[in-house]
Each structure stands twice: as structure tokens, then as C-alpha cells.
Amino acid sequence: MATVISVRGGAEPDIWHGLSAAYLGLTVVYGHSTLRWADQKFAKRFGETPAGPTPEPLYGRQAIAAAWRSWLRFLLAYTLSVSLTAALVALTGDSQDSGPLLVWLNPLTKILIYSLIWPVITTLRPGRPPQPQPDSAGS
């Protein structure tokens, strides 16, 4: 909000305004789940509950679905961040002044593309459940 007020008030847009748009997009999408995870870890550490956060599945259809859900969540965060950046560019009204705002689109786009590797690989090779080991106590 301060970024919009700052830019609307005539401040020169800089790299930090672009960072705040990226940060806000990521926080809106990941903030709640991050706090829930931290609360579960805290509760386990201090004995309020016996179990911590549920780990993601490592194999099978659940692993494929979890990988794609994770990527789609980042796609949502990316879309929100890009939309906020575009709104800031529109507020500046001058495309030459908005260059520093657009700097953050490059790393966000790279992360979006690179993070697509994991769901694709998980879909192609979802992994197998662990095989039970033969009981060696009788030998």
C-alpha cells in the first residue's frame, strides 16, 4: 500500500517498489500456509501435539498432484506479482520511468519456468513406494 501511495505521490519508481510488488504477491499466496506450518512445528516442539506438519507424498498419484498443486500456487503468486507490477507501471504513466519496476519480472519468470521442471519430472517418473525389506533376524 505504501508503494502505491509513494508512486502515486510522484516518487521516482525504483527497484524496491518492484520488489514490494513481488513480495506482496508471494505473501498473499504463501503467507497463510507458511504460518500454519510454523504453528505446527512450534506445537510439536513444545509438546502441544504429538505430530508435526504432514509431509508431502513422495510417490504415486498423490506426489504428482502435490507437485502440480505446488507449481500452480507459484503460478498464482507470479500472476499476482506481475499484475501488481503492471498496476505500478500504469500509475507511473511513463514507460521510461518504469524500468526499475520491471527488473523483478526477470527472476520471477525464471523461477516460474525452472520450478516447472519438478512437476514434469514427477509426472513422467512418479517414483515407487518403498519395498519392504526381508526380515534378516532369522539368518
pLDDT for 119-132, tens place per residue?
999 999 887 877 88
pLDDT digits (tens, 9 = 90+) for 85-94: 888 888 877 6
Provide the grid cell at 48. 502441544
Q: How far apart are the first and last CA of the chain?
A: 69
Provide the grid cell at 25. 504477491
Residue, of 64 and 15, whose pLDDT is higher: 64
pLDDT digits (tens, 9 = 90+) for 27-66: 999 999 989 888 888 888 888 777 767 777 788 888 899 9
Quick one: DSSP state of residue 13?
Answer: P
Nearest Cα neighbor of 27 from 75, 71, 81, 99 is 81
Q: For all residues of the chain together, what is the average pLDDT?
A: 83
* 21: Cα within 13 Å, side-chain hemisphere: 28
Burial class (CB in 10 A: 0-12, 13-18, 19+), 67: buried
pLDDT number for residue 119: 94
C-alpha Rg value of the chain to the nearest Å: 22
pLDDT number for residue 95: 64
Q: Yes or no: say if 40 and 48 are a contact pair by the CB < 8 Å rule.
A: no
